[in-house]
């Protein structure tokens, strides 16, 4: 189960309002990870709502991999451009990239 989209992030100007909306409209559960980030529960795919400074501008698909360095090499070889170098986050390590058509995405490896 490597190199599959398994997470989606929604940027938000107001995390609390976005979370309340998704909960009311679709019945999704909300898991708070601090003042700037909420996780989604029961949405059919794992996801989150991000209001942190520096958040992406548009909804972003996140690909899970088993080998982050190898995935980054493949992204670059296929014409992708790294927009945020590898960094640690509570769930593991990831990087962001833009594919040739302009979509920003991320790839991560889970923390064991």
The pTM of the full predicted model, rounded to 2 decimals, is 0.87
Domains recognised in the chain with CATH numbers: 4-110 (3.10.180.10)
Cα distance between residue 72 and residue 82, in whole Å? 8
**pLDDT tens digits, one per residue of 27-62:** 999 999 999 999 999 999 999 999 999 898 999 999
Stretch 7-31: mean pLDDT: 95
Query: What is the structure's pLDDT at 2?
Result: 80
Strand segments (E) across the chain: 4-11, 29-32, 37-41, 46-50, 60-64, 81-89, 92-98, 104-110
Query: What is the structure's pLDDT at 52?
Result: 94
Cα distance between residue 94 and residue 14, in whole Å? 24
pLDDT interval class at 112 (50, 70, 90) = confident
């Amino acid at each position: 189960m490597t190199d599959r989209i398994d997470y989606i992030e929604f940027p938000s100007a107001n995390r609390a309002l976005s979370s309340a909306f998704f909960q009311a409209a679709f019945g999704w559960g909300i898991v708070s990870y601090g003042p700037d980030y909420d996780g989604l529960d029961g949405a059919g795919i794992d996801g989150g709502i991000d209001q942190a400074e520096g958040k992406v501008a548009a909804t972003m698909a996140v690909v899970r991999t088993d080998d982050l360095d190898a995935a980054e090499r493949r992204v670059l070889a296929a014409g992708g451009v790294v927009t945020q170098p590898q960094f640690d986050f509570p769930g593991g390590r990831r990087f962001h990239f833009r594919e040739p058509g302009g979509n920003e995405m991320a790839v991560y490896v889970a923390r064991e």
